[in-house]
Amino acid sequence: MTQSAPKTKKDILAEFDHIIATGELSQIIPFLDAHKQGNVSELKKQLNKARRYYLDWYEVKENGRTVGTSVRGTPNQERMLFCLALALLSPSDFNGRWLDCFTQVLRYMSDPDYYKSLDNKNNTMPMVFDIIKHFDFKELFNIYMAECVKREIMWGLDYPLLRRLENAKLIDHHPQLFAMTIARFTMPNDMPKKKLSIDEYREFVFSSDIMIRDVKLLFEYETHVSWTTFGYLDRQTFKEYKHG
């Protein structure tokens, strides 16, 4: 049985473009295992080209008139580009549009329905959370965190997500960042008709890390805790929440 000829760099880059176009996250790790070594420079160039094509805004025209702006990429393609960037780029390469991409991926990971996401073949989709464990997420997160603290903006971050990332040893405990997010923890979700679940409030009450370690940080850092309001599920009385 004859062996097939090894793939050329042109073949590898064509396959790289194809998996980005499909948006199927399950292809990321097998592709990198097979082709990353010896091809990083070329893949980085192709990745930045793909990022510009899929994620940069462009003008939408109808009948010769500009009617708005949009991006070409789907949410899944954005997540795929981020995971590939995490594997191929150095933290210093993450600026501008890549940090915007990071924000969107974090928002996706914060979504309560995140773990129920399905791919277009109706198979359980490999989670970004699991994929990033293969790469150096921590160093990049530190850069992202510094920008959040500097600007006092929690781009895509919430307290439950920080706890999940910390428990998975993907990030360290950052006192100021945890204080800033815990101050916003009981605010209603910004998504229309969707609010934080009662399970998350129960975690808030019963977790020793929250009560012993993190709540006291509200007295050590400037936060927006005085602006926080309680929000529970629509049509649920406080008595139902309290005894639920």
* Mean pLDDT within 179-198: 60
| Domain locations in the chain as residue ranges | 1-151, 158-244
> Quick one: 129 exposed, middle or buried, by C-beta within 10 A (0-12, 13-18, 19+)?
middle
pLDDT tens readout for residues 198-214: 666 666 667 778 878 88
Q: What is the mean pLDDT of residues 165-183?
A: 89
CA 213 centroid distance within chain: 25
Query: pLDDT tier at 157 (50, 70, 90 boundaries)?
Result: confident
Dist CA 87 CA 133 (whole Å): 10
Structure confidence at residue 240 (pLDDT):
46
What does the mean pLDDT of the chain come to?
79
3-class secondary structure, 62 = strand
| Amino acid (one-letter) located at 162 | L
Cβ atoms of 132 and 169 closer than 8 Å: no
Residue 235 Rama label (left phi>0; alpha psi -120 to 50; beta): left
Percentage with pLDDT > 90 across the chain:
27
Contact (Cβ atoms closer than 8 angstroms) between residue 50 and residue 17: yes
Mean pLDDT of 49-63: 90
To the nearest 5 percent, what fractions of the chain are helix, strand and coil? Answer: 60, 5, 35
pLDDT at 237: 43
In this prediction, residue 36 carries a pLDDT of 96
Average pLDDT over residues 139-146: 88
Question: Is pLDDT larger for residue 84 or for residue 190?
Answer: 84
Would you say 134 and 29 are in contact if contact means Cβ atoms under 8 Å apart?
A: yes
Report the C-alpha gap between 244 and 242 in whole angstroms: 6
